[in-house]
């Protein structure tokens, strides 16, 4: 079994698009400015709710750093809608991320353990800070729900990157 190639730091962010709750689409590559895309596992994940709630609590910090925040999952519309209704997240939420899109982003993809967990393959956590040039400034991809970056540190880092004109790190080819 092979896994998709991971999206490299400094790479141009792929041109993916998913449906957005409330209408329209989430298409980070087509957006301007700094943007943060958080890929979450879906409604079935008990660790995603507090993580995204933390993200929601940091919306002002990200806005101060000039960063647009969004989250996406493979969930169908009704599951994504239920989560937003329950937790009140204010950032755009996308749904219907396909396995092909997950692979294009270099995410780990899991199959459900049972029908009670969920009914479709889903992405493990991923976080992408995309700079105004459309390049991946920060990438964090995990194969498990227990390993995710500190969102407050990402917000502080996004601001610091801009203040210092900090380069994209980790781009030296072996």
22-45 burial, b if ≥16 CB within 10 A, otherwise e?
eeeebebeebeebbbbbbbbbbbb
pLDDT for residue 1: 43
Domain map (residue ranges) of the chain: 31-157
83 contacts 118 by C-beta, under 8 angstroms: no
Residue 105 and residue 16: Cα distance in Å, rounded? 9
Helix (H, G, I), strand (E, B) or coil at 131: coil
Q: Domain spanning 31-157: which CATH class is it, in words?
A: alpha beta
128 contacts 136 by C-beta, under 8 angstroms: yes
pLDDT for residue 78: 96
* 118 burial via Cβ count (<10 Å: 0-12, 13-18, 19+): buried
Q: What is the pLDDT along the chain (174 residues), one digit of tens a residue?
A: 455 688 899 999 999 999 999 999 999 999 999 999 999 999 999 999 999 999 999 999 999 999 999 999 999 999 999 999 999 999 999 999 999 999 999 999 998 777 666 778 899 999 999 999 999 999 999 999 999 999 999 999 999 999 999 999 998 876
Residue 50 and residue 43: Cα distance in Å, rounded? 12
């Amino acid at each position: 079994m092979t896994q998709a190639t991971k999206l490299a730091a400094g790479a141009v962010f792929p041109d993916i698009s998913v449906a957005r709750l409330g209408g329209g689409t989430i298409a980070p590559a087509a957006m301007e400015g700094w943007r943060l895309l958080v890929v979450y596992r879906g409604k079935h994940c008990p660790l995603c709710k507090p993580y995204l709630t933390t993200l929601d609590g940091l919306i002002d910090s990200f806005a101060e750093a000039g960063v647009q925040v969004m989250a996406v999952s493979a969930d169908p519309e009704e599951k994504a809608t239920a989560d937003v209704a329950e937790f009140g997240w204010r950032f755009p939420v996308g749904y219907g991320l396909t396995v092909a899109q997950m692979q294009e982003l270099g995410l780990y993809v899991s199959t459900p353990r049972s029908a009670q967990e969920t009914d479709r393959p889903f992405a493990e956590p991923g976080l992408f800070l995309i700079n105004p040039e459309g390049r991946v400034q920060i990438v964090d991809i995990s194969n498990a729900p227990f390993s995710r970056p500190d969102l407050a540190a990402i917000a502080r880092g996004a601001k610091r990157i801009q203040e210092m004109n900090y380069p994209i790190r980790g781009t030296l080819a072996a």
